[in-house]
Amino acid sequence: MLTRRRFVQSILAFAILPKQLLQAKGFLSPNAFQVPPLELGRRSGKDVYFDLDIQSGVSQILPNVSTKTWGINQPFLGVTLRANKGDSIHVNVTNNLHKTTTLHWHGIKLPAKADGGPHQPIKPAQKWLSEFDIIQPAASLWYHSHQMHKTGEQVYQGLAGMFIIDDDISKNLSLPSDYGVDDFPVIIQDKNFNKDGSFEYLADVRDKLMGQKGETILVNGIISPVMKATKSLIRLRLLNGSNARIFHLNFDDKRMFHIIASDGGLLENPVMAHSITLAPAERAEILVDVSDGKMPILRHKMHMQKSANRMSGMMMMESMQGKKQEFDIFQIDASRATPSHHKVPSSLTIHAPLPVKSVSNQRRFKLQMQMGPQLMLGAMMGSQDLLKINGQSMDINRIDEVVKAGSVELWEIENTSMMPHPFHIHNVQFKIVTRQGEIKGHELGFKDVVLVRPHEIVQVIMKFPEFSDAKTPYMYHCHILEHEDRGMMGQFVVV
């Protein structure tokens, strides 16, 4: 199986991406960078109405063969939704697929009924109305399918898009914010293809355990594109939209950039960095100065010093399997960039201090993945309860935790396994209180996903919004979608 796939891939790679184009020098590829269409909705005062159509389509991703894809208001991936803090959102979703699906607003604080998780399925040809007020600050959020046991497959097919929130603070900072001109969504995904052009999903049984990883990188649905920058300072809203791959992003010329936002919005101050690690579902906004007119390539590459002590069991296994671990993501061609009238602000916003004194409850979540023969056997049989949190696999009829509306809680996430798990909590933005090692870069900001490394314990603190609903749960789960689909998920209600 593996041999055949590798063989097909090497032919594809050879046919489409001649080696000299893939190498760091010169142009990365002939593909132009594209941004998903911007959708501002129909506005009437503070009410904003979006009509979303979940559809299947055909996309030209590879040069000589087309790919069956899924998308929202377009054939592949979702349009970018953009609204303001304080708006009342009304999304009318129509499912035009032949499969049941959902649309979940990842990172948005909202009533459980509007969340779009496994409890709000939309059957084929049916509609779902999701309504919520935006009560949180400017941020780069996203939306994606959350269908029970099918999230991995459906997101892989293309059911994912960005949701951008603006507010007065973000608008007054004079940050680059001209969509598609100096402000870009960058949805990074890794895919495998079958010979007929269709996406190849879970062909390798190991991917059912470790998560689906692909060997072709797409940015906004395009293979390794080139962005022709017209401005000398550009804002990238990075989203790791892959099912399972953790990206270690940096530029080939080692240039520094400024991290200005995390999952939940602006950091207090920009942080200079030359690399950033994004696990599945994590976002970060960065400002890149390209006034030197060069052509830097954003790539996924582990740093030498880091790889020595941080290399996970998973990465070791991958390298033993001979799988590729370094990829070019996309290239910025700044040769025609004109001076930007924006500059990197010295400070961005102010966060309230951590409400450590008001913590009213503490919980512990153990992420469990027993290694060994049963695991492999279970994976082969397609078992959906291989992975556990606190000894239990996800059961849609069981409520695991009850949280008080408006309360502050401290959650400890303990990874008892050999591989890293990005842990996500619905309906909140938390802050990391302690973890192994320093908390820095985007991890200083508000988060809705945190990467918990093997045998690490991470503490996060959050205040739950006032919405309460004893009957409709929210989810917490590993955001490696194959882990979520195989049981590493639990449910909480807020009352």
CB of 285 to ligand C2O, least distance (A): 18
When binding is defined by CB under 6 A, the residue of 421, 424, 442, 463 that contacts ligand C2O is: 424
Cα dihedral sign for 404, 409, 415, 420? positive
Q: Is 428 near ligand C2O (CB under 6 A)? A: no
CB of 265 to Cu ion, least distance (A): 16
| CB distance 446 to 431 below 8 Å | yes
| Residue 172 three-state SS | helix
CB of 197 to ligand C2O, least distance (A): 27
CB of 106 to ligand C2O, least distance (A): 4
Q: Is 119 near Cu ion (CB under 5 A)? A: no
Report, in angstroms and rounded to the nearest whole number, the Rg of the chain calculated over CA atoms: 21
Nearer to ligand C2O, 81 or 475 (CB): 475
Number of residues that bind Cu ion (CB under 5 A): 6
CB of 178 to ligand C2O, least distance (A): 28
Which span (11-19, 62-70, 432-440, 471-479) binds ligand C2O, by CB under 6 A?
A: 471-479
Instruction: Identify residues 375-434 at the interface with Cu ion (CB under 5 A).
Output: 421, 426
Give the single-character DSSP code of 370: -
Instruction: Identify residues 174-233 at the interface with ligand C2O (CB under 6 A).
Output: none
Q: Is 245 near ligand C2O (CB under 6 A)? A: no
Q: From the list ligand C2O, Cu ion, none, which binds 146 (C-beta under 5 to 8 Å, kind-based)?
A: ligand C2O
| CB distance 389 to 489 below 8 Å | yes
When binding is defined by CB under 6 A, the residue of 85, 104, 191, 421 that contacts ligand C2O is: 104
Distance CA(260)–CA(347), nearest Å, equals: 9
Phi and psi torsions of 317, nearest 5°: -65, -40
| CB distance 428 to 448 below 8 Å | yes
N-to-C CA span, the chain: 49
When binding is defined by CB under 6 A, the residue of 150, 388, 426, 435 that contacts ligand C2O is: 426
CB of 213 to ligand C2O, least distance (A): 18
Number of residues that bind ligand C2O (CB under 6 A): 10
| CB distance 275 to 455 below 8 Å | no
Q: Is 480 near Cu ion (CB under 5 A)? A: yes
Q: Decide: residue 440, CB within 10 A, 0-12 exposed, 13-18 middle, 19+ buried.
A: exposed
Which span (8-16, 390-398, 439-447, 481-489) binds Cu ion, by CB under 5 A?
A: 481-489
Q: Which helix (H) or strand (E) holds 308?
A: helix 304-310
Q: Which residues pair with 284 in a beta bridge?
A: 238
Q: Is 141 near Cu ion (CB under 5 A)? A: no
When binding is defined by CB under 5 A, the residue of 210, 478, 481, 494 that contacts Cu ion is: 478
Distance CA(333)–CA(435), nearest Å, equals: 38
| CB distance 209 to 375 below 8 Å | yes
| CB distance 110 to 104 below 8 Å | no
Q: Which residues pair with 477 in a beta bridge?
A: 424, 489
Look-up: residue for tokens 């293979």? Answer: 223
Q: Is 106 near Cu ion (CB under 5 A)? A: yes
Q: Is 452 near Cu ion (CB under 5 A)? A: no
Q: Is 301 near ligand C2O (CB under 6 A)? A: no
- Residues in contact with ligand C2O by CB under 6 A are 104, 106, 144, 146, 281, 424, 426, 475, 477, 479
- Residues in contact with Cu ion by CB under 5 A are 106, 421, 426, 478, 480, 483
